[in-house]
Structure 1
Amino acid sequence: MLWLLLNSVHKKMRRGFIVIVSFGIFFFITYTLLQNRGNHIVSKSFRTTSHNNRSILKNLFDLNIKNNSIFFLDTSLKDYQNELVTIHRRVSCAVESAALHHRNRSIYYVYVGRYHEATMDINDINFEPILTYENVQVVYVNIENLVENTEIEGLFKKGLIETSNYYVEHFKDAFCVILLRNYGGIYLDSDVIILKSLNELGENFVGKESEQVLGTAILAFNQSGHHFLTTLLEDLNVNYNPKSWGGNGPYLFTRGVKKLCGTTSNFSGNECDYLKIFSKNFFFPVYYEDWRHLFDPNYVEEILKITKSSYMIHFWNKLSHNWILDVKSNASYVILAKTHCPNTFLMQNKSF
């Protein structure tokens, strides 16, 4: 009887040991897979360091860029020698929305700076959501290397852009043209939300911001646009106006496209030569004068109606950056963010 009891206890202990060992093996394998996945996410954009989860961003010029890539730019020119690279939650939302709707394209968020490298914390709460996407890379480029041997190299060396009150916007206006000429693809401003795939729109397009002016928050060109983009840089070099906020971006493009299309009047057609010109509702359904409607719950039905067939919204950060919303708000901006940048939105506890 005692032998049977001891034998039963032994069997139970053996089964318990097997269960514990099996669970340990399962936990080890799972942890290893997750670590490898995390390391893969980090390695695609960074050269890792062992100091406080900091990583050095890869240089854009060291990468093999596909010609259908999507680019964002940070031209704030912060002191990346002494400061970590950061990203605002609404910028993270813009990048995620592009990645979510374009799994087949590489998305590059490009930091431009004065030094030869920049470092970031890979555990930053606003980087984490976009780095879960396999097609997103956060990279860096030195400003001197970017303008070297371009039509605006002399303009840059004179310091005229950097001393402008609008240097962030003006560098963006110039650098997006350089990137598109170098690589082709799509450029997007950081104060947008992509609402659906842009793939069906073709490889060369711009959008009307108004009936008179083309917007530059979204631009698409392939090699067909190389000569046109070169003429824009030549125009910028000659006619750069440091006191004009939009004169070196939207008005520069509008002037250039009018020459390309051979017209001095407003754009009546939707296409000229190889370039498609899309109506306001495609990318700019909310005009800058009405930017508050995106952040006001009283306009939610109106905004959701007019953006139903749009590909993008532009929320005019220059005007709206101080307008903070509760994550429980019924404003259309919050509703659209929940859908089109879900990971970013879930990371926010109170405001967006």
Structure 2
Amino acid sequence: MWEVASNIFLVESSCNPQPSYRAWCAVESLSRQNPDAHIWYVITSPMISDGDGLVSRLRRRYRNLQLVTIDQQQLFSNTPLMDVYTAGLWLTNSTWPAVNLSDLLRLALVWHTGGFYADSDFICLANVTTFKNVIGVESVFYNPLVHIALPNSNGYDSLAANGAFHLTRHHPLLHKLMTFLSKNFEAMTKVLKTRCGYHLRVGEECVGVTLLPTSVFYPVAFSDWKRLFQPAPYLHVSKMFPQSALLHAWNKVSHQKPITPGSFYDAIAATYCPVTHRLATKLSQFY
């Protein structure tokens, strides 16, 4: 089932049979913008609700979309994640077990098959199948320790995130990440710095991976997330984000923020996840 040219994965790890419309927008936008890729929405619930008919509509519209459940025990077997999964440390040592499980699942999925992974609070603006062995930088910030260690640098450091990345099957970095994750659930930046040096440089290749600038996957900064929910009557996405393939909506802080007609997010959703947008706005004033 998994042996295909281009895999794109999303994961629903909270055992929720009814993902939010925003999650379905992520699924639809990736399916729409990548018609030649196989989009795998991996769910941990034994069933998915289609009470509003959205799932049926999306599956009819996008033939490249697959909703699948997995045998987690089999997925983690023969990986460094097996012990931490079977011991249940991801479940008992955290206030966010679904997030920890998602971290485990994404690495194991890409390890076995290779492909692109994206969190379900992105909207896909452009085809992502051209990316190979890349990790998106979430933010760039001034770090005085970098300035001390590297006096000739400008002192800026990068935070690499696991929210959107592509890695080929059995990539060595994946094995390092899984090994580290079995002991610490904040792996990406720490592993990269261990392998690539203290100062992560955007655009440079290290351990066979290129760090992409924030403009590619995270064009709206975390500090500016409220902008997504403000009025945007004259939005031109291609002009505003000419270098962006994804747009991150920062669901951790924005999930309770209503999406109103004419807002920034609403306008983008209407274009990039039209089926989801039409149904969501029909059934609810806010979604």
**Normalised-by-shorter TM-score class:** 0.7 to 0.9
Shift of 1:304: 7.6
CA–CA distance in 2 between the matches of 1:304 and 1:199? 19
SS of match in other structure, 1:156: helix
Distance 1:299 1:315 in 2: 19
- 1:11-50 correspondence to structure 2 within 5 Å: none
2:143 corresponds to: none
Is 1:75 the equivalent of 2:75?
Answer: no
CA distance in 2: counterparts of 1:335 and 1:74, whole angstroms: 25
Q: Which residue of 2 aligns with 1:341?
A: 273
Change (3 A) 1:67 1:182: farther
Name 1:296's counterpart in structure 2. Answer: 230
Match 1:98 to one of 26, 30, 40: 30
CA distances 1:243-278 after superposition (whole Å, capped 9, x unpaired): xxxxx24xx111222334x32113254323532211
Distance 1:299-1:174 versus aligned 2 partners, 3 A rule: farther
Q: What are the Cα deviations for residues 290-345 of structure 1, in whole angstroms up to 9, with x where unaligned?
A: 1111011169769885424311100011111111123xx22111111011001111
Question: 2: CA distance between counterparts of 1:229 and 1:176?
Answer: 10
1:134-181 Cα deviation digits (max 9, x unpaired): 000100013323223321222122222112211111111121111111
Kindly tell me: are residues 300 and 160 of structure 1, through their superposed partners in 2, closer, same or farther at Cα, counting changes over 3 Å?
Answer: farther
Distance 2:75 2:109 in 1: 9
Q: Which of the numbers 201, 204, 207 marks the counterpart of 2:133?
A: 204
Q: What does the per-residue CA deviation read over 1:92-126, in whole Å, with 9 as the maximum and x for residues that have no partner? A: 1101100111110110100125xxxx233455433
- Name which of 171, 192, 199 aligns with 1:226: 171
Q: Retained in 1: the 8 A contact 2:122–2:248?
A: yes
- Give the number of the structure whose residues are more often helix, by fraction: 1
CA distance in 2, matches of 1:87, 1:298: 26
Change in 2 beyond 3 A, CA 1:305/1:139 = same
CA distance in 2, matches of 1:136, 1:165: 32
Instruction: Give the TM-score, by structure 2 length.
Output: 0.84
Matched residue, 1:46: none
* Corresponding residue number in structure 1 for 2:124: 194
| Equivalent residue letter for 2:34 | H
Among 197, 212, 215, which residue is 1:278 paired with? Answer: 212
Match of 2:190, as an amino acid?
R
What is the rounded CA distance, in whole Å, between the counterparts of 1:140 and 1:188 in structure 2? 17
Does structure 2 retain, via aligned residues, the 8 Å contact 1:206–1:275? yes
Partners of 1:288 and 1:197 in 2: how far apart?
A: 23
Q: Match for 1:319 among 233, 238, 253?
A: 253
Q: Which has the higher contact order (CA 8 A, sep 6+)?
A: 2
Give 2:48's match in structure 1, choosing from 120, 129, 133.
120
| Structure (1 or 2) with the larger CA radius of gyration | 1
Q: Is the 8 A contact 1:129 1:343 kept in 2?
A: yes
Provide structure 2 residue ranges, at least 5 long, that are not aligned to the other structure: 141-157
Do the aligned partners of residues 150 and 181 (structure 1) sit closer, same or farther apart at CA in structure 2, a change above 3 Å counting? same
CA distance in 2, matches of 1:126, 1:291: 27
Per-residue deviation at 1:346?
Answer: 1.2
The whole-number CA distance in structure 1 between the counterparts of 2:237 and 2:39 is: 27
SS in 1 for 2:53: coil
CA 304–330 in structure 1, closer or farther in 2 if over 3 Å, else same: farther
Equivalent residue number for residue 217 of structure 1:
163
In the alignment, the residues of structure 2 paired with residue 71 and residue 269 of structure 1 have an alpha-carbon distance, to the nearest angstrom, of: 24
Whole-angstrom distance in 2 between the partners of 1:269 and 1:347: 40
Q: Percent identity?
A: 26
Which range moves more in the overlay, 334-343 or 307-316? 307-316
Unpaired segments ≥5 residues, structure 1: 1-62, 79-84, 241-247
User: Secondary structure at 2:262's aligned position in 1?
Assistant: coil
Verify: 1:173 aligned to 2:173, yes or no: no
* SS state at 1:77 partner: coil
Q: 1:226 to 1:271 in 2, by over 3 A?
A: closer
Q: Aligned Cα RMSD in Å?
A: 2.2
